[in-house]
Structure 1
Amino acid sequence: MKIATWNVNSVKARLPQITDWLRLTSPDVVLFQEIKCETAAFPGPAFEELGYHVAVVGQKSYNGVALLSKAPASDVITRLPGEPEDEQARYIEATVAGVRIASLYLPNGNPIPGEKFAYKLRWMDRLRAHATDLLAREIPFVLGGDYNVIPEDRDVYSPADMAGDALTQPETRAKFRALLHLGLTEAYRALHDDDRAYTFWDYQAGCWPRDKGLRIDHFLLSPQAADRLAGCVIDRGPRGGEKASDHTPVILELRDA
Protein backbone atom coordinates (compact mmCIF):
# COMPACT_ATOMS: atom_id res chain seq x y z
CA MET A 1 0.00 0.00 0.00
CA LYS A 2 1.34 3.40 -1.03
CA ILE A 3 0.10 6.34 1.09
CA ALA A 4 0.94 9.96 0.26
CA THR A 5 0.50 13.03 2.45
CA TRP A 6 0.54 16.55 1.02
CA ASN A 7 -0.39 19.94 2.39
CA VAL A 8 -1.66 21.36 -0.88
CA ASN A 9 -2.27 24.93 0.35
CA SER A 10 -5.59 25.29 -1.53
CA VAL A 11 -6.86 22.34 -3.55
CA LYS A 12 -8.70 24.55 -6.03
CA ALA A 13 -5.73 26.81 -6.73
CA ARG A 14 -3.49 23.82 -7.48
CA LEU A 15 -5.89 21.26 -8.90
CA PRO A 16 -4.05 20.70 -12.24
CA GLN A 17 -0.71 20.24 -10.46
CA ILE A 18 -2.27 17.84 -7.95
CA THR A 19 -4.08 15.68 -10.49
CA ASP A 20 -0.99 15.54 -12.74
CA TRP A 21 1.05 14.31 -9.78
CA LEU A 22 -1.55 11.69 -8.90
CA ARG A 23 -1.56 10.38 -12.46
CA LEU A 24 2.23 10.09 -12.31
CA THR A 25 2.59 8.49 -8.87
CA SER A 26 -0.78 6.72 -8.39
CA PRO A 27 -0.77 6.30 -4.60
CA ASP A 28 -3.40 4.00 -3.11
CA VAL A 29 -4.31 6.53 -0.43
CA VAL A 30 -3.82 10.31 -0.50
CA LEU A 31 -3.97 12.58 2.54
CA PHE A 32 -4.47 16.29 1.89
CA GLN A 33 -4.21 19.18 4.33
CA GLU A 34 -5.12 22.85 3.95
CA ILE A 35 -7.63 22.23 1.21
CA LYS A 36 -9.03 25.69 2.11
CA CYS A 37 -12.59 25.10 0.98
CA GLU A 38 -15.87 24.00 2.47
CA THR A 39 -16.74 20.32 2.27
CA ALA A 40 -19.37 20.79 -0.44
CA ALA A 41 -16.97 22.86 -2.57
CA PHE A 42 -14.23 20.21 -2.70
CA PRO A 43 -13.58 19.19 -6.34
CA GLY A 44 -14.38 15.54 -5.74
CA PRO A 45 -15.24 14.63 -9.35
CA ALA A 46 -11.71 15.46 -10.50
CA PHE A 47 -10.36 12.81 -8.13
CA GLU A 48 -13.16 10.32 -8.71
CA GLU A 49 -12.20 10.38 -12.39
CA LEU A 50 -8.78 9.12 -11.28
CA GLY A 51 -10.34 6.22 -9.43
CA TYR A 52 -10.48 7.59 -5.90
CA HIS A 53 -13.16 7.46 -3.26
CA VAL A 54 -13.27 10.84 -1.50
CA ALA A 55 -13.81 11.71 2.17
CA VAL A 56 -13.53 15.38 3.13
CA VAL A 57 -14.01 17.74 6.03
CA GLY A 58 -13.57 21.38 5.09
CA GLN A 59 -14.30 24.92 6.17
CA LYS A 60 -14.41 28.23 4.37
CA SER A 61 -11.00 29.69 3.42
CA TYR A 62 -8.96 27.89 6.10
CA ASN A 63 -7.73 24.46 7.16
CA GLY A 64 -9.58 21.43 5.76
CA VAL A 65 -8.40 17.86 5.29
CA ALA A 66 -9.24 15.05 2.89
CA LEU A 67 -8.65 11.33 2.53
CA LEU A 68 -8.72 9.82 -0.95
CA SER A 69 -8.52 6.06 -1.47
CA LYS A 70 -8.71 3.64 -4.37
CA ALA A 71 -10.40 1.07 -2.11
CA PRO A 72 -13.54 2.12 -0.28
CA ALA A 73 -13.06 3.84 3.08
CA SER A 74 -15.19 2.86 6.06
CA ASP A 75 -15.91 4.08 9.59
CA VAL A 76 -15.02 7.67 8.74
CA ILE A 77 -14.64 10.19 11.56
CA THR A 78 -14.21 13.91 10.87
CA ARG A 79 -13.07 15.32 14.19
CA LEU A 80 -10.28 14.52 16.60
CA PRO A 81 -11.98 13.45 19.85
CA GLY A 82 -11.55 15.29 23.12
CA GLU A 83 -12.79 18.85 22.60
CA PRO A 84 -16.37 18.86 21.25
CA GLU A 85 -16.44 22.65 20.89
CA ASP A 86 -13.47 22.60 18.48
CA GLU A 87 -14.97 23.13 15.02
CA GLN A 88 -11.75 23.60 13.06
CA ALA A 89 -11.46 21.13 10.16
CA ARG A 90 -8.17 19.47 11.00
CA TYR A 91 -8.72 15.71 11.21
CA ILE A 92 -10.24 12.89 9.20
CA GLU A 93 -9.77 9.16 9.79
CA ALA A 94 -11.03 6.00 8.09
CA THR A 95 -10.25 2.34 7.53
CA VAL A 96 -8.87 1.43 4.10
CA ALA A 97 -7.90 -2.15 3.19
CA GLY A 98 -7.61 -3.09 6.85
CA VAL A 99 -5.47 -0.12 7.89
CA ARG A 100 -6.79 2.76 10.00
CA ILE A 101 -5.50 5.96 8.38
CA ALA A 102 -5.75 9.59 9.45
CA SER A 103 -5.04 12.86 7.65
CA LEU A 104 -4.24 15.55 10.19
CA TYR A 105 -3.40 19.23 10.14
CA LEU A 106 -1.95 20.06 13.53
CA PRO A 107 -2.28 23.72 14.59
CA ASN A 108 0.66 26.00 13.83
CA GLY A 109 0.60 27.66 17.27
CA ASN A 110 2.11 31.03 16.43
CA PRO A 111 2.45 33.59 17.88
CA ILE A 112 3.79 32.50 21.23
CA PRO A 113 2.81 32.82 23.95
CA GLY A 114 -0.93 33.01 23.45
CA GLU A 115 -4.16 31.10 22.87
CA LYS A 116 -3.00 29.72 19.51
CA PHE A 117 -0.03 28.05 21.16
CA ALA A 118 -2.19 26.78 24.02
CA TYR A 119 -4.61 25.33 21.42
CA LYS A 120 -1.72 23.60 19.65
CA LEU A 121 -0.59 21.93 22.88
CA ARG A 122 -4.14 20.87 23.77
CA TRP A 123 -4.57 19.43 20.28
CA MET A 124 -1.38 17.41 20.69
CA ASP A 125 -2.64 16.07 24.03
CA ARG A 126 -5.88 15.03 22.33
CA LEU A 127 -3.92 13.32 19.55
CA ARG A 128 -1.90 11.38 22.11
CA ALA A 129 -5.06 10.30 23.92
CA HIS A 130 -6.64 9.17 20.65
CA ALA A 131 -3.47 7.31 19.61
CA THR A 132 -3.54 5.55 22.98
CA ASP A 133 -7.10 4.38 22.24
CA LEU A 134 -6.09 3.18 18.79
CA LEU A 135 -3.11 1.29 20.20
CA ALA A 136 -5.40 -0.53 22.60
CA ARG A 137 -7.21 -1.96 19.57
CA GLU A 138 -3.94 -3.57 18.37
CA ILE A 139 -4.62 -2.68 14.74
CA PRO A 140 -2.34 -1.26 12.04
CA PHE A 141 -2.79 2.50 11.87
CA VAL A 142 -1.09 5.45 10.21
CA LEU A 143 -1.29 9.06 11.40
CA GLY A 144 -0.10 11.17 8.48
CA GLY A 145 -0.08 14.85 7.70
CA ASP A 146 1.25 18.29 8.49
CA TYR A 147 2.24 18.14 12.15
CA ASN A 148 3.69 21.67 12.29
CA VAL A 149 6.44 20.16 14.42
CA ILE A 150 10.17 20.30 13.70
CA PRO A 151 11.25 17.26 15.74
CA GLU A 152 14.98 18.00 15.93
CA ASP A 153 17.42 20.76 15.04
CA ARG A 154 18.61 18.76 12.03
CA ASP A 155 15.08 19.06 10.61
CA VAL A 156 15.41 22.82 10.02
CA TYR A 157 17.76 24.87 7.86
CA SER A 158 18.69 27.13 10.80
CA PRO A 159 17.76 26.27 14.39
CA ALA A 160 18.73 29.80 15.43
CA ASP A 161 16.33 31.40 12.94
CA MET A 162 13.44 29.25 14.20
CA ALA A 163 14.24 29.35 17.91
CA GLY A 164 11.28 31.60 18.71
CA ASP A 165 8.79 29.69 16.58
CA ALA A 166 6.02 27.45 17.96
CA LEU A 167 7.23 24.59 15.75
CA THR A 168 10.51 24.22 17.68
CA GLN A 169 9.49 25.01 21.25
CA PRO A 170 10.52 22.53 23.96
CA GLU A 171 6.86 21.96 24.83
CA THR A 172 6.04 21.17 21.19
CA ARG A 173 8.91 18.75 20.79
CA ALA A 174 8.18 17.10 24.13
CA LYS A 175 4.59 16.38 23.13
CA PHE A 176 5.76 14.96 19.79
CA ARG A 177 8.21 12.70 21.65
CA ALA A 178 5.37 11.67 23.96
CA LEU A 179 3.55 10.35 20.89
CA LEU A 180 6.60 8.35 19.86
CA HIS A 181 7.05 7.04 23.40
CA LEU A 182 3.64 5.40 23.16
CA GLY A 183 5.34 2.99 20.77
CA LEU A 184 4.77 4.78 17.47
CA THR A 185 7.37 4.87 14.71
CA GLU A 186 8.21 8.01 12.75
CA ALA A 187 8.49 6.43 9.33
CA TYR A 188 10.94 8.76 7.60
CA ARG A 189 13.47 8.78 10.41
CA ALA A 190 13.20 5.01 10.84
CA LEU A 191 14.67 4.66 7.34
CA HIS A 192 16.78 7.79 6.83
CA ASP A 193 19.43 9.48 8.91
CA ASP A 194 20.10 12.38 6.55
CA ASP A 195 20.06 16.04 7.45
CA ARG A 196 18.55 18.74 5.22
CA ALA A 197 15.58 16.50 4.40
CA TYR A 198 12.77 19.03 4.22
CA THR A 199 9.07 19.00 3.32
CA PHE A 200 8.29 22.76 3.51
CA TRP A 201 9.95 25.85 2.07
CA ASP A 202 8.44 29.29 2.70
CA TYR A 203 7.55 31.44 -0.31
CA GLN A 204 9.57 34.36 1.06
CA ALA A 205 13.28 35.21 0.97
CA GLY A 206 14.21 32.68 -1.70
CA CYS A 207 13.76 29.77 0.69
CA TRP A 208 13.16 27.19 -2.04
CA PRO A 209 16.16 27.95 -4.31
CA ARG A 210 18.37 28.36 -1.23
CA ASP A 211 17.03 25.12 0.33
CA LYS A 212 16.01 26.90 3.54
CA GLY A 213 13.43 24.32 4.55
CA LEU A 214 11.70 22.57 7.43
CA ARG A 215 10.66 18.94 7.88
CA ILE A 216 7.18 19.17 9.37
CA ASP A 217 5.13 16.57 7.43
CA HIS A 218 5.30 13.16 9.08
CA PHE A 219 3.89 9.65 9.23
CA LEU A 220 3.55 8.00 12.64
CA LEU A 221 2.90 4.26 12.56
CA SER A 222 1.50 1.81 15.08
CA PRO A 223 3.67 -1.28 15.76
CA GLN A 224 1.46 -3.35 13.45
CA ALA A 225 1.95 -0.83 10.63
CA ALA A 226 5.66 -0.35 11.39
CA ASP A 227 6.17 -4.09 10.92
CA ARG A 228 5.05 -3.55 7.32
CA LEU A 229 7.17 -0.43 6.66
CA ALA A 230 8.82 -0.79 3.25
CA GLY A 231 9.70 2.80 2.35
CA CYS A 232 9.22 6.49 3.07
CA VAL A 233 10.48 9.21 0.75
CA ILE A 234 10.09 12.95 0.25
CA ASP A 235 9.21 13.88 -3.32
CA ARG A 236 10.73 17.34 -3.82
CA GLY A 237 9.55 17.56 -7.42
CA PRO A 238 6.18 19.29 -6.93
CA ARG A 239 7.72 22.09 -4.84
CA GLY A 240 9.77 23.16 -7.84
CA GLY A 241 6.81 23.32 -10.22
CA GLU A 242 4.66 26.25 -11.26
CA LYS A 243 2.11 27.53 -8.74
CA ALA A 244 3.53 25.11 -6.19
CA SER A 245 2.34 24.55 -2.67
CA ASP A 246 4.90 25.53 -0.05
CA HIS A 247 4.86 21.86 1.03
CA THR A 248 5.88 18.83 -1.00
CA PRO A 249 4.49 15.27 -0.78
CA VAL A 250 5.81 12.51 1.46
CA ILE A 251 5.16 8.94 0.33
CA LEU A 252 4.90 5.93 2.65
CA GLU A 253 4.93 2.33 1.50
CA LEU A 254 3.60 -0.59 3.54
CA ARG A 255 4.10 -4.24 2.62
CA ASP A 256 1.06 -6.43 2.26
CA ALA A 257 -0.06 -8.05 5.48
Structure 2
Amino acid sequence: MKIATYNINGINGRIENLLRWLADAKPDVVCLQELKAEDHKFPERALLDAGYHAIWQGQKSWNGVAILSRYGEIQETRRGLDGDPNDSHSRYIEAFINGVVIGCLYLPNGNPYPGPKFDYKLKWIKRLTAHGKKLQGFGLPVALIGDYNIMPTELDTYKPEKYVDNALFRPESRKLWRELLKTGWTDAIRKLYPNERFYTFWDYLRNAYGRDAGLRLDHFLLNNLLEARLVSAGVDKEVRGWKHTSDHAPVWIELSEA
Protein backbone atom coordinates (compact mmCIF):
# COMPACT_ATOMS: atom_id res chain seq x y z
CA MET A 1 0.00 0.00 0.00
CA LYS A 2 1.56 3.25 -1.13
CA ILE A 3 0.33 6.39 0.63
CA ALA A 4 1.40 9.88 -0.38
CA THR A 5 0.93 13.43 0.82
CA TYR A 6 1.15 16.51 -1.37
CA ASN A 7 0.50 20.16 -0.62
CA ILE A 8 -0.71 21.03 -4.10
CA ASN A 9 -0.91 24.82 -3.47
CA GLY A 10 -4.00 25.34 -5.63
CA ILE A 11 -5.54 22.20 -7.10
CA ASN A 12 -7.25 23.69 -10.13
CA GLY A 13 -4.29 25.76 -11.18
CA ARG A 14 -2.00 22.73 -10.92
CA ILE A 15 -4.34 19.91 -11.94
CA GLU A 16 -2.21 18.93 -14.94
CA ASN A 17 0.84 18.52 -12.71
CA LEU A 18 -1.20 16.51 -10.23
CA LEU A 19 -2.54 14.17 -12.91
CA ARG A 20 0.94 13.78 -14.40
CA TRP A 21 2.39 12.84 -11.02
CA LEU A 22 -0.47 10.43 -10.24
CA ALA A 23 0.12 8.65 -13.55
CA ASP A 24 3.86 8.42 -12.92
CA ALA A 25 3.92 7.55 -9.20
CA LYS A 26 0.68 5.53 -8.95
CA PRO A 27 0.06 5.99 -5.23
CA ASP A 28 -2.88 4.04 -3.80
CA VAL A 29 -3.94 6.81 -1.43
CA VAL A 30 -3.09 10.52 -1.53
CA CYS A 31 -3.63 13.23 1.06
CA LEU A 32 -3.80 16.69 -0.50
CA GLN A 33 -3.55 20.04 1.24
CA GLU A 34 -4.05 23.69 0.34
CA LEU A 35 -6.70 23.04 -2.32
CA LYS A 36 -7.62 26.74 -2.50
CA ALA A 37 -10.97 25.79 -4.03
CA GLU A 38 -14.56 25.78 -2.84
CA ASP A 39 -16.25 22.39 -2.65
CA HIS A 40 -18.18 22.80 -5.89
CA LYS A 41 -14.98 23.65 -7.78
CA PHE A 42 -13.10 20.51 -6.76
CA PRO A 43 -12.02 18.61 -9.95
CA GLU A 44 -13.77 15.36 -9.05
CA ARG A 45 -14.39 14.29 -12.66
CA ALA A 46 -10.77 14.65 -13.72
CA LEU A 47 -9.62 12.57 -10.75
CA LEU A 48 -12.23 9.88 -11.37
CA ASP A 49 -11.07 9.65 -14.96
CA ALA A 50 -7.54 9.14 -13.58
CA GLY A 51 -8.80 6.27 -11.41
CA TYR A 52 -9.15 8.06 -8.05
CA HIS A 53 -12.21 8.46 -5.87
CA ALA A 54 -12.06 11.45 -3.55
CA ILE A 55 -13.49 13.13 -0.50
CA TRP A 56 -12.68 16.77 0.18
CA GLN A 57 -13.35 19.83 2.28
CA GLY A 58 -12.63 22.98 0.34
CA GLN A 59 -12.33 26.65 1.16
CA LYS A 60 -12.21 29.65 -1.14
CA SER A 61 -8.71 30.96 -1.92
CA TRP A 62 -6.91 29.07 0.86
CA ASN A 63 -6.77 25.92 3.03
CA GLY A 64 -8.68 22.82 1.94
CA VAL A 65 -7.88 19.11 2.33
CA ALA A 66 -8.74 16.00 0.32
CA ILE A 67 -8.11 12.26 0.30
CA LEU A 68 -7.83 10.33 -2.96
CA SER A 69 -8.03 6.55 -3.24
CA ARG A 70 -7.66 3.91 -5.96
CA TYR A 71 -9.53 1.40 -3.75
CA GLY A 72 -12.98 2.64 -4.73
CA GLU A 73 -15.53 4.48 -2.61
CA ILE A 74 -14.07 6.11 0.49
CA GLN A 75 -15.62 5.72 3.93
CA GLU A 76 -15.37 9.20 5.42
CA THR A 77 -15.20 9.21 9.22
CA ARG A 78 -14.66 12.85 10.18
CA ARG A 79 -14.00 16.39 9.02
CA GLY A 80 -12.66 19.01 11.40
CA LEU A 81 -11.35 18.62 14.95
CA ASP A 82 -13.15 18.97 18.25
CA GLY A 83 -12.23 21.70 20.69
CA ASP A 84 -13.18 24.92 18.88
CA PRO A 85 -16.77 25.25 17.62
CA ASN A 86 -15.91 28.57 15.98
CA ASP A 87 -13.09 27.20 13.82
CA SER A 88 -14.22 27.47 10.20
CA HIS A 89 -10.91 26.50 8.57
CA SER A 90 -10.87 23.46 6.27
CA ARG A 91 -7.85 21.69 7.74
CA TYR A 92 -8.74 18.10 8.65
CA ILE A 93 -10.54 15.24 6.94
CA GLU A 94 -10.44 11.56 7.86
CA ALA A 95 -11.37 8.27 6.23
CA PHE A 96 -11.18 4.50 6.60
CA ILE A 97 -9.47 3.03 3.53
CA ASN A 98 -8.30 -0.54 2.98
CA GLY A 99 -8.27 -1.26 6.70
CA VAL A 100 -6.41 1.91 7.69
CA VAL A 101 -7.69 5.09 9.36
CA ILE A 102 -6.14 8.02 7.51
CA GLY A 103 -6.29 11.57 8.83
CA CYS A 104 -5.31 14.20 6.27
CA LEU A 105 -4.33 17.50 7.83
CA TYR A 106 -3.08 20.98 7.00
CA LEU A 107 -1.71 22.37 10.23
CA PRO A 108 -1.76 26.18 10.54
CA ASN A 109 1.37 28.05 9.49
CA GLY A 110 1.27 30.35 12.52
CA ASN A 111 3.23 33.28 11.17
CA PRO A 112 3.82 36.01 12.09
CA TYR A 113 5.24 35.17 15.49
CA PRO A 114 4.17 36.33 18.00
CA GLY A 115 0.51 36.93 17.36
CA PRO A 116 -2.98 35.41 17.14
CA LYS A 117 -2.06 33.17 14.19
CA PHE A 118 0.71 31.59 16.24
CA ASP A 119 -1.64 31.13 19.20
CA TYR A 120 -4.15 29.44 16.87
CA LYS A 121 -1.42 27.12 15.61
CA LEU A 122 -0.52 25.95 19.11
CA LYS A 123 -4.15 25.41 20.05
CA TRP A 124 -4.68 23.44 16.84
CA ILE A 125 -1.77 21.11 17.64
CA LYS A 126 -3.27 20.46 21.08
CA ARG A 127 -6.63 19.66 19.48
CA LEU A 128 -4.92 17.27 17.07
CA THR A 129 -3.12 15.59 19.97
CA ALA A 130 -6.40 15.09 21.81
CA HIS A 131 -8.02 13.59 18.73
CA GLY A 132 -4.99 11.40 18.13
CA LYS A 133 -5.38 9.91 21.61
CA LYS A 134 -8.94 8.91 20.72
CA LEU A 135 -7.76 7.28 17.51
CA GLN A 136 -5.14 5.31 19.44
CA GLY A 137 -7.93 3.67 21.45
CA PHE A 138 -9.69 2.14 18.44
CA GLY A 139 -7.27 -0.76 17.98
CA LEU A 140 -6.89 0.01 14.27
CA PRO A 141 -3.91 1.01 12.10
CA VAL A 142 -3.87 4.82 11.97
CA ALA A 143 -1.85 7.41 10.06
CA LEU A 144 -1.96 11.19 10.56
CA ILE A 145 -0.62 12.62 7.32
CA GLY A 146 -0.06 16.00 5.78
CA ASP A 147 1.58 19.40 5.89
CA TYR A 148 2.35 19.98 9.56
CA ASN A 149 4.10 23.32 9.02
CA ILE A 150 6.63 22.21 11.64
CA MET A 151 10.35 21.53 11.30
CA PRO A 152 10.87 19.18 14.25
CA THR A 153 14.68 19.40 14.45
CA GLU A 154 17.63 21.31 13.03
CA LEU A 155 18.05 18.45 10.57
CA ASP A 156 14.78 19.54 8.94
CA THR A 157 15.98 22.92 7.67
CA TYR A 158 18.92 23.95 5.55
CA LYS A 159 19.64 26.96 7.79
CA PRO A 160 18.33 26.68 11.39
CA GLU A 161 19.56 30.13 12.42
CA LYS A 162 17.34 31.73 9.78
CA TYR A 163 14.17 30.35 11.38
CA VAL A 164 14.71 31.19 15.05
CA ASP A 165 11.60 33.38 15.17
CA ASN A 166 9.60 31.53 12.54
CA ALA A 167 6.43 29.78 13.74
CA LEU A 168 7.47 26.64 11.86
CA PHE A 169 10.60 26.31 14.01
CA ARG A 170 9.71 28.01 17.27
CA PRO A 171 10.46 25.97 20.42
CA GLU A 172 6.77 26.08 21.36
CA SER A 173 5.77 24.35 18.10
CA ARG A 174 8.53 21.77 18.34
CA LYS A 175 7.69 21.01 21.98
CA LEU A 176 4.07 20.29 21.10
CA TRP A 177 5.29 18.09 18.22
CA ARG A 178 7.32 16.02 20.69
CA GLU A 179 4.37 15.80 23.04
CA LEU A 180 2.21 14.57 20.16
CA LEU A 181 4.73 11.84 19.34
CA LYS A 182 4.86 10.74 22.98
CA THR A 183 1.18 9.79 22.82
CA GLY A 184 2.10 6.85 20.58
CA TRP A 185 3.11 8.13 17.14
CA THR A 186 6.17 7.40 15.02
CA ASP A 187 7.59 9.86 12.48
CA ALA A 188 7.88 7.49 9.51
CA ILE A 189 10.58 9.43 7.67
CA ARG A 190 12.79 9.72 10.74
CA LYS A 191 12.21 6.03 11.52
CA LEU A 192 13.78 5.11 8.18
CA TYR A 193 16.19 8.04 7.80
CA PRO A 194 17.23 9.05 11.33
CA ASN A 195 20.24 11.16 10.35
CA GLU A 196 19.58 12.38 6.81
CA ARG A 197 18.44 15.75 5.53
CA PHE A 198 15.16 15.01 3.82
CA TYR A 199 13.40 18.11 2.44
CA THR A 200 9.81 18.34 1.19
CA PHE A 201 9.48 22.10 0.58
CA TRP A 202 11.54 24.67 -1.32
CA ASP A 203 10.54 28.33 -1.41
CA TYR A 204 9.91 30.03 -4.76
CA LEU A 205 12.37 32.81 -3.83
CA ARG A 206 16.15 33.03 -4.28
CA ASN A 207 16.44 29.82 -6.31
CA ALA A 208 15.79 27.74 -3.19
CA TYR A 209 15.10 24.57 -5.18
CA GLY A 210 18.23 24.95 -7.29
CA ARG A 211 20.32 25.49 -4.15
CA ASP A 212 18.51 22.68 -2.30
CA ALA A 213 17.67 25.19 0.42
CA GLY A 214 14.76 23.14 1.68
CA LEU A 215 12.60 22.39 4.69
CA ARG A 216 10.87 19.21 5.89
CA LEU A 217 7.27 20.16 6.61
CA ASP A 218 5.25 17.17 5.35
CA HIS A 219 5.06 14.24 7.73
CA PHE A 220 3.58 10.78 8.26
CA LEU A 221 2.78 9.89 11.86
CA LEU A 222 1.98 6.19 12.33
CA ASN A 223 0.60 4.38 15.34
CA ASN A 224 2.27 1.15 16.49
CA LEU A 225 0.05 -1.11 14.39
CA LEU A 226 1.00 0.74 11.23
CA GLU A 227 4.64 1.38 12.11
CA ALA A 228 5.17 -2.39 12.07
CA ARG A 229 4.16 -2.42 8.41
CA LEU A 230 6.43 0.45 7.28
CA VAL A 231 8.66 -0.71 4.42
CA SER A 232 10.04 2.36 2.63
CA ALA A 233 9.59 6.09 2.11
CA GLY A 234 10.71 8.82 -0.25
CA VAL A 235 10.13 12.24 -1.73
CA ASP A 236 9.47 12.81 -5.43
CA LYS A 237 11.76 15.82 -5.47
CA GLU A 238 11.80 16.17 -9.24
CA VAL A 239 8.13 17.25 -9.19
CA ARG A 240 9.21 20.46 -7.47
CA GLY A 241 11.24 21.25 -10.58
CA TRP A 242 8.30 21.00 -12.99
CA LYS A 243 6.90 24.13 -14.63
CA HIS A 244 4.20 25.96 -12.63
CA THR A 245 4.54 23.51 -9.75
CA SER A 246 3.79 23.67 -6.04
CA ASP A 247 6.50 24.75 -3.61
CA HIS A 248 6.09 21.34 -1.95
CA ALA A 249 7.02 17.97 -3.45
CA PRO A 250 4.99 14.78 -3.01
CA VAL A 251 6.15 12.54 -0.17
CA TRP A 252 5.23 8.87 0.18
CA ILE A 253 5.52 5.74 2.29
CA GLU A 254 4.98 2.09 1.42
CA LEU A 255 3.34 -0.35 3.81
CA SER A 256 3.33 -4.13 3.77
CA GLU A 257 0.01 -5.95 3.79
CA ALA A 258 -1.58 -6.49 7.21
Which TM-score applies when normalising by structure 2?
Answer: 0.98
Could you tell me which residue of structure 1 aligns to residue 114 of structure 2? 113
CA distance in 2, matches of 1:64, 1:175: 23
Could you tell me which residue of structure 1 aligns to residue 136 of structure 2? 135
1:85-234 matches, cutoff 5 A: 85-234=86-235
For residues 99-118 of structure 1, what are the alpha-carbon distances to aligned partners after superposition, in whole Å with 9 as ceiling and x for unaligned?
00011000000001111000
CA RMSD of superposed structures (Å): 0.9
Supply the AA of the counterpart residue of 2:25. T
For residues 205-225 of structure 1, what are the alpha-carbon distances to aligned partners after superposition, in whole Å with 9 as ceiling and x for unaligned?
111111111001000001111
For residues 173-210 of structure 1, what are the alpha-carbon distances to aligned partners after superposition, in whole Å with 9 as ceiling and x for unaligned?
01000111111110000001343310001101111111
8 Å Cα contact 2:55-2:76 kept in structure 1: no
1:44-55 matches, cutoff 5 A: 44-55=44-55
1:23-38 matches, cutoff 5 A: 23-38=23-38
Could you tell me which residue of structure 2 aligns to residue 40 of structure 1? 40
Supply the AA of the counterpart residue of 1:39. D
Could you tell me which residue of structure 1 aligns to residue 66 of structure 2? 66
Runs of 4+ in 1 over 2 A off after TM superposition: 193-196
CA distance in 2, matches of 1:109, 1:119: 7
1:2 positional shift: 0.6
1:162 positional shift: 0.9
8 Å Cα contact 2:229-2:255 kept in structure 1: yes
- % same residue: 47
Question: How many residues matched?
Answer: 257
CA distance in 2, matches of 1:194, 1:245: 26
Supply the AA of the counterpart residue of 1:8. I
Supply the AA of the counterpart residue of 2:82. P
